[in-house]
Homo-oligomer: A and B are copies of this chain.
Amino acid sequence: MKKTTIHEIAKALGIDSSTVSRALNDSERVKPRTKKRVLEKAQELGYTRNMLASNLRRNKSNTIGVIVPRISRYFFSSTIAGIEETAYKAGYSVIICQSREDVNRERKIISNLMANRVDGILMSVTMETKDSSHLTECFEKGMPLVFFDRHVEGMNQTGKVVIDDVKGGFEATEHLIKQGCRKIAHFTAPLDVEIYKNRHKGYCMALEKYSIHYDKNLVYISTLLKEDGYFLAEKIVNECDGVDGIFSANDFAAIGAMNFLKSIGKKIPEEIAIAGFSNEPTSAVIEPSLTTVDQSGTEIGRLACNLLLDYFKNGNTLVNNKTIMIQPKLIVRDSSQKKSNFKEMRLNIGFK
């Protein structure tokens, strides 16, 4: 099944293929009447421009590469949705790849995207990405790179869209303190990942503000899966007396912890108050509903994509070291409100 080319259109009309090309691109170098004839013939022959050829010639693929740890995470899939929407409007396609938290895979993906000559890359790094040689290679080779959410410290040659994790962590922790918690555990992931480092920092700042002693034994590092939360909660209950609050750096671990606590009949929030991070859809649905920090994935995706598109238009200046920081929003729900508040409860049952 061979496709029609501009040459066949040209031959059919007895004109040159360059004229056909210009006509199809609506160049003012072609007489309106000729344009019309070309367009009609193209239609008639079922012509579809071969973007491979076009891209090769123009040295531009009109494609953006996106790398996330896992597509099926709600936060990331909504980020992707925001990216796709923005890219689509601007006439770009998006190639989606998942690193699955594996740096080697991340490395391969990047070289693959480079080979495919994507115009730019949007990415959220894996938890293991410390050595960033494959990333520095990107802009050494002139490939624009914008981080969103998970980024790498010290990589200032690119743009970033991040949320103010310090503030998010601070507010969640402060809220727990204000609700009366005095011994607050913190679930987090390896602290060399910027976002977890910052959420942890916010946690520390809140403790300090209220003169609560920072106890490093209360900080649990894991991969923050639901299972991790479940077993860490079990550990806390068995080994660590008097914990009256948990701030988890993501919702999954928080939900896992809630599952365990509910299974042994601990009262949430009366005995242990809980706050998560990310506002996953399940957080609104679980009972008690989970207090969390909202970070709009769709919005982050849009902003990151726009940052890249700006770069395409206006060159280096805009992206270079530009950081867009989104303000997180604490969403207070039932898992943390020791003094229950009927009105607020009603509101927070509602639709997300």
Contact = CB atoms under 8 A, between A and B. Distances in A.
Interface of A: 1, 3, 46, 48-53, 55-56, 61, 63, 70-74, 77-78, 80-81, 84-85, 88, 93-98, 111-112, 114-117, 141-142, 226-227, 230, 255-256, 259, 262-263, 281-282, 285-287, 297-298, 349, 351
State how many copies of this chain the complex holds: 2
Given A98-B85, A285-B286, A56 B50 contact: yes
Nearest to A117: B52
A49 B51 CA distance: 18
Nearest to A4: B141
- A interface: dominant SS: helix
Contact of A51 (B97, B116, B263, B297): B116
Nearest to A262: B349
A52 B115 CA distance: 8
A94 B67 CA distance: 12
B351 A226 contact: yes
4 A-B pairs with the lowest CB-CB distances in the bound complex, closest first? A1-B142, A77-B77, A52-B56, A72-B78
A226 B281 CA distance: 12
8 contacts: A50-B115, A52-B61, A71-B84, A72-B74, A72-B81, A94-B96, A227-B351, A282-B282
A175 to B, nearest CB: 22
Contacts of A51: 115-117
A281 B78 CA distance: 15
Chain B CB within 10 Å, residue with most, of A85, A98, A281, A285: A285
A142 B2 CA distance: 9
Contact of A52 (B3, B111, B112, B116): B116
A85 B102 CA distance: 13
B48 A114 contact: yes
A71 B81 contact: yes
